């Protein structure tokens, strides 16, 4: 315990000393010592028993205190100090007062010593002030500290805890202004820094409004679609450069578009759309120029972005791609250079091409689907080292729910959806298998957020999009009809809030379903050729769509130039060449589907 003399008033007839703690103490009650009520020996014993240490600093008041002692009295004090009992080693008794000139050997143990020649100026000691005490109670059983600030007099012996202090109040947002003064922002009360000096609330209002805009849900398809950007590729009978879907990056800065026989292209979002809330109908069309072009030959089977891609961190800007007769490649999104490769080998030690790709949600693992196994690569360890999980069918697509990171949902070309637990032995097989599609599964996608168990599936040459609840998988929750007449992958996508579902169509239309409405489809004729890709921007009301397909013309098509007559003889018919008109539209388009002017 540390104590400080607040004020001392010494008279001939009466003498008392008031003590006040300057730091926290662990006693259960306040201590107050009055020298007029304690005998000389009792006071000395009390000081020794309580191990009182007087601080060298003093809280000075407006009164001037002066003491004068004769040489005889000083000698008398020295003799009595030497004769008194010496304190223990643990006790620290010292009186150091700046305003009082008393030798260090002097001790206030007797009351009669200070009855002589003491002059105290009592003119300015009539002002009284209350002192706020900060008390810290340390509970040994719970090992917790509770700080209580209370205004009380020095004579109070108990600390009172208010019941309201035990109630947890809701968290409030704090804002530190430029003046380094802490301002507590409460949305229900005006923001003030001081009762006499009101704080300007313009900045706080702007911050709250900006956060409200970020939290506010996006509105889709409330007005007409506005085309904001387009890129086209030429095609011919010898080389048909059609698109194979489109994929927004996780941070929404660029769009990845694989092109048949022309590698992969990365398109950047137009700069004026980053902060746009509305777009005018008269806005000019932006010519999307590829920022990065990877001229990879062959057919690109699948590609996927790194899930934590951020343009502010160049190391995280990359994507994976797999193509025919090649291992899995990691491509840099800034310069298009090859970073590394992940190779899968078969039983005769030959490189196999992965059919499908997927990242784990934390980005630490890569799931690659092959003809007879699932290979799991470590993202930080390129090469051929991986874990094999044997399966019976070729894995055409992979998806993973956010609700369980040890399970994996895979589709195959036989039209089945299988759910695997990677902790189980491969001999056990899938946990369950889902049907419902006529053709091979081309895409699987889990919803985000709280609906993480809802799975959407699509297949080739199948007119249905199925919505599943993987917790009750006996039958689909919903069926959505679309027009798919080829083996091509027709991409679909969901808005981040699970409000809208969009899918392409072999007839060139974009099918849109309102998930919160009646579920009726709205067919938007956006392209003249097959609409094979649809992808929503992660943070803006922008939809990207891609078009194109392979056209069988000339010698590629099978022509039957013979007919049967009534006798059953084959009669050759002269072939008549008819000019065939083919409409190529190999394009990627960005559409503004939010509020317009």
Cα separation of 32 and 21, whole Å? 10
Segments making up each domain of the chain, as ranges? 226-553+582-592
Cβ atoms 584, 235 nearer than 8 A = yes
* pLDDT (0 to 100) of residue 520: 84
Q: What is the pLDDT of residue 181?
A: 38
Give the pLDDT score at 315.
95
Res 170: pLDDT: 38
pLDDT reported for residue 7: 41
pLDDT for res 55: 39
| Residues counted in the chain | 597
Quote the CA–CA distance of 392 and 376 in Å, as a whole number: 17
User: What superfamily in CATH does domain 226-553+582-592 come from?
Assistant: YVTN repeat-like/Quinoprotein amine dehydrogenase (2.130.10.10)
Cβ-based neighbours of 432, under 8 Å, separated by 6 or more: 418, 419, 473
Longest dimension (CA), the chain: 156
Pairing of strands 264-268, 247-248: unpaired
Q: Which residue has the tokens 């934390």?
A: 362
Q: Is the entire prediction scored with pTM above 0.85?
A: no
Q: How far apart are CA 327 and CA 78, in angstroms?
A: 96
Local mean pLDDT, 10-residue blocks, the chain (597 residues): 42 42 39 41 43 39 51 74 54 41 42 42 43 44 44 42 40 39 38 41 49 64 92 88 95 96 95 92 93 88 96 96 94 96 93 96 96 96 96 96 93 96 93 94 92 93 95 92 94 93 95 88 93 96 96 60 44 52 87 86
B/e letters for 283-294, b = 16+ CB within 10 Å, e = fewer, are beebebebbbeb
CA gap 255, 538 in Å, rounded: 11
pLDDT for residue 377:
98
Half-sphere exposure of 486 (CA within 13 A, CB side): 18
Backbone φ and ψ of 531, nearest 5°? -90, 100
Contact criterion met (CB below 8 Å) for 292 and 311: no
Predicted local distance difference test score (pLDDT) of residue 238: 82
Give the SS3 label for residue 81: helix
pLDDT at 216: 63
Which residues lie closer than 8 Å to 579 by C-beta, 6 or more apart?
A: none
What are φ and ψ of residue 351, in 5° steps? -70, 130
């Amino acid at each position: 315990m540390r104590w400080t003399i607040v004020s001392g008033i010494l008279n001939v007839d009466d003498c008392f000393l008031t003590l006040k703690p300057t730091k926290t103490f662990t006693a259960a009650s306040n201590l107050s010592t009055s020298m007029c009520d304690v005998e000389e020996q009792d006071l000395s014993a009390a000081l020794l028993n309580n191990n009182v240490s007087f601080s060298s600093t003093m809280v000075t008041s407006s009164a001037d205190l002066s003491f004068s002692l004769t040489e005889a009295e000083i000698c008398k004090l020295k003799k009595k100090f030497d004769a008194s009992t010496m304190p223990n080693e643990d006790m620290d008794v010292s009186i150091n007062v700046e305003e009082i000139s008393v030798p260090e050997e002097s001790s206030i143990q007797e009351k009669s010593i200070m009855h002589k020649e003491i002059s105290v100026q009592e003119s300015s000691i009539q002002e009284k002030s209350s002192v706020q005490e900060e008390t810290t109670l340390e509970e040994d059983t719970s090992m917790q500290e509770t700080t209580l600030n209370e205004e009380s007099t020095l004579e109070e012996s108990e600390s009172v805890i208010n019941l309201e202090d035990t109630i947890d109040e809701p968290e409030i947002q704090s804002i530190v202004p430029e003046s380094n003064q802490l301002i507590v922002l409460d949305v229900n009360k005006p923001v003030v820094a001081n009762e006499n000096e009101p704080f300007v609330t313009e900045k706080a209002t702007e911050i709250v409004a900006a956060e409200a805009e970020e939290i506010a849900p996006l509105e889709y398809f409330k007005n007409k679609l506005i085309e904001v950007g387009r890129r086209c590729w030429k095609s011919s009978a010898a080389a048909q450069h059609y698109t194979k879907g489109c994929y927004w990056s996780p941070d929404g800065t660029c769009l990845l578009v694989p092109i048949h026989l022309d590698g992969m292209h990365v398109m950047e979002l137009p700069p004026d759309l980053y902060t746009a809330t509305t777009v005018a109908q008269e806005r000019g069309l932006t010519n999307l120029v590829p920022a990065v072009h990877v001229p990879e030959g062959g057919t690109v089977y699948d590609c996927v972005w790194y899930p934590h891609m951020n343009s502010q961190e160049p190391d995280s800007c990359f994507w994976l791609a797999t193509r025919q007769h090649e291992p899995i490649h990691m491509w840099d999104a800034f310069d298009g250079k090859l970073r590394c490769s992940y190779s899968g080998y078969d039983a005769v030690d030959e490189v196999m091409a992965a059919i499908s790709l997927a990242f784990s949600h934390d980005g630490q693992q890569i799931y690659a689907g092959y003809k007879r196994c699932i290979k799991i690569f470590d993202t930080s360890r390129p090469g051929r080292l991986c874990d094999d999980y044997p399966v019976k069918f070729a894995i055409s697509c992979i998806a993973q729910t956010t609700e369980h990171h040890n399970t994996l949902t895979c589709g195959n070309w036989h039209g089945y959806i299988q759910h695997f637990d990677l902790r189980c032995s491969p001999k056990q097989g899938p946990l369950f298998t889902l049907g419902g599609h006529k053709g091979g599964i081309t895409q699987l996608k889990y919803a985000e957020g709280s609906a993480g168990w809802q799975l959407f599936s699509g297949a080739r040459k199948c007119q249905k999009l199925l919505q599943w609840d993987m917790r009750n998988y006996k039958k689909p929750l919903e069926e959505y009809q679309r027009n798919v007449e080829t083996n091509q992958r027709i991409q679909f996508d969901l808005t981040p809030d699970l409000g809208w579902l969009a899918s392409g169509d072999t007839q060139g239309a974009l099918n849109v379903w309102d998930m919160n409405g009646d579920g009726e489809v709205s067919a938007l004729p956006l392209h003249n050729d097959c609409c094979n890709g649809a992808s929503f921007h992660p943070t803006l009301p922008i939809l990207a769509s891609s078009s194109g397909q392979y056209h069988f013309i000339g010698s590629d098509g099978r022509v039957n130039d013979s007919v049967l007559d009534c006798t059953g003889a084959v009669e050759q018919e002269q072939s008549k060449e008819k000019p065939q008109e083919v409409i190529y539209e190999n394009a990627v388009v960005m559409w503004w589907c939010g509020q317009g002017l």
